[in-house]
Amino acid sequence: MRALGFVRRVSAKVPPAQQRRPRNVVIVHLDGVPKTLLDEAIVGGRMPFLARLIRSGTFHLEDAFWGAPTSTPYFQAGLLYGMRHSNLPAYSWYDRELGRKVQMNTPADAREIDQRLRGAGRTSLLDGGGHGYFSLFRAGATNALSMSTLASFKLMARSFSYEMMGLSAARTRGLFGYLRSLGMDTWHAVREVRHWARSIQDWRHEQGFLVSRVLLQRLGWSFAHTKALVDMVRGVPVIYLVYGNYDEVAHRRGPRSELAVEELHRVDAYLAELYAVARTVQRPYDVVILSDHGHVDSLPLERRQGKRLEQWLLECGEHGPLSEDVIRGLCDGRPRPALDATPRAPFTPVVMECGNFAHVYLSGERQPLEARELLARHPDVLARVTQSPEIGMAAVRRGNSAVALVKGGVYGPDELDRAPLSTEFSKRAVADFLRVLPSMSTAGDVVLFGEAVQRGGTVGFAWEFGSHGGLTRTEANSLVCWPANAPVDLSGLGHCAQLHERLAEAYLDPAPPLRLVL
């Protein structure tokens, strides 16, 4: 693509954006890419364009820590809204306020949570004319291409012509060439899915992965990328573009699989196009590249034990009595509670398998159970959890704080240096999670984290081969990359809310007033 010719062609066909900011920015979100893997891709020649930007000093590239949990909803709430305590414990959870399970790949659920975040009254990075692509939350964007907007057919139909604006002028190849490329991609995807499913003797998730591979990772991303280029020509002040292909593949094939690493090479070519147009348009753009979390190899519990977590935890298996050391640690000087068999409203425990961690809800009450309540009502669950070699750590609330149960010991966030955690775990991430857990009412009564059973790999509770949301060093190993001449310094960040603050200061000044987008 010749950037100058592209800009001239598109600008003759589309109107300029109405909103203006002191400086324009496009934020490229590489979903699930850890900094160490990006470094390897740069050194190994997988990302030659990005390598040139870094080595020439044109861009800075640094590690970043965004807080815990290491999941996309938590990160996007911090990035877009600047929220430190967003009450989003995972990609899916049991919501006590709604009384049901919530999943962020369900448009109606994403809209419900977006409205909840919006109701907190905070200004979003996308307020005042920004556009978002493939974000979970619309977050005030003018356009309607997020997971939350898919819940409204009426809204999508009304915005159709706006979303299609400029696509015909932006195309870089003919219809026959495009269909031929799509056909080849589909054929390769079918062959790969067939080979994988046969090798592991399991087809349960492959149909969905194939649909995702063709419709989302090829058609969807190509559309979003092209629209972002058109937006830059129009002068849309803030563009948030989520590249989810690596994350999708890493879940199903593993974070270091050839198929996953190929996506880094693919996105490098897209970054080259974005950068060329960003420098060519009348009002140039700063390009900020970041990731929300890393991915760790996941070894499914179901393959290791022949049972899913819920069956293993709640229905079967012998175990010894709960350790006296654990009981004393959970009581923390308070009296030991007697067993509590008080009749309560019927509630079937809910186990949400969220990757290599899981939220366990043992009560239907609006407030989570505290340590002494767990001791009184569910000592068998605590015993099974603390005695299992598959569980690396469990987190529970204790009074107004939270503690980690690790190999028969109980440790607060300031006591982790003496905890016998595997070196694969990030003590910084564990401490951050324990500090935020008391304010996260949506999290389970007990939160389980799979044991690290190999270098770069943990036990997984969901049926997937790459996981995130947990507390390993790899999952907490995010990245941020920004232009050396940008009016912002993104080094030394310790939470995604800090990222929001620095970007808002540079690109939302003066900040637009908060408005509700219906």
209 SS3 class: helix
At 127, the amino acid letter reads D
Residues with Cβ within 8 Å of residue 477, at least 6 apart in sequence: 34, 35, 36, 63, 294
19, with CB counted inside 10 A (0-12, 13-18, 19+), is: middle
In 201-312, the DSSP E strands lie at: 238-243, 285-290, 296-300
**CA–CA distance, 252 with 245 (Å, rounded to integer):** 11
Over its length of 518 residues, how does the chain's per-residue pLDDT go in tens digits? Answer: 688 998 999 999 999 998 888 899 999 999 999 999 999 999 999 999 999 999 999 999 999 999 999 999 999 999 999 999 999 999 999 999 899 999 999 999 999 999 999 988 889 999 999 999 999 999 999 999 999 888 877 787 788 788 888 877 777 666 566 667 767 778 777 887 788 778 888 878 888 887 777 777 778 888 899 999 999 999 999 999 999 999 999 999 999 999 999 999 999 999 999 999 999 999 999 999 999 999 999 999 998 988 899 988 887 666 788 999 999 999 999 999 998 878 788 889 999 999 999 999 999 899 999 999 999 999 999 999 999 999 999 999 999 999 999 999 999 999 999 999 999 999 999 999 999 999 999 999 999 999 998 888 999 999 999 999 999 999 999 999 999 999 999 999 999 999 999 999 999 866 444 444 33
Q: Which residues face 466 on adjacent strands? A: 297
- Provide the b/e sequence for 142-177 (b: ≥16 CB within 10 Å): bbbbbbbbbbbeebeeebeeebebbeeebeeeeeee
| Peptide linkage before 420 cis (omega within 30 of 0) | no
Give the pLDDT confidence score for residue 518 in this predicted structure. 38
Full set of structural domains in the chain with CATH: 3-295+475-507 (3.40.720.10), 299-467 (no CATH)
Give the pLDDT confidence score for residue 117 in this predicted structure. 94
Q: Which residues face 242 on adjacent strands? A: 29
Q: Which residues face 28 on adjacent strands? A: 241, 289
DSSP letters, 5-22, are HHHHHHHTTSPPPS---S
Helix (H) or strand (E) holding 458: strand 457-460
Tell me, what DSSP letter sits at residue 363?
A: -
**CA–CA distance, 283 with 232 (Å, rounded to integer):** 8
**CA–CA distance, 445 with 287 (Å, rounded to integer):** 41
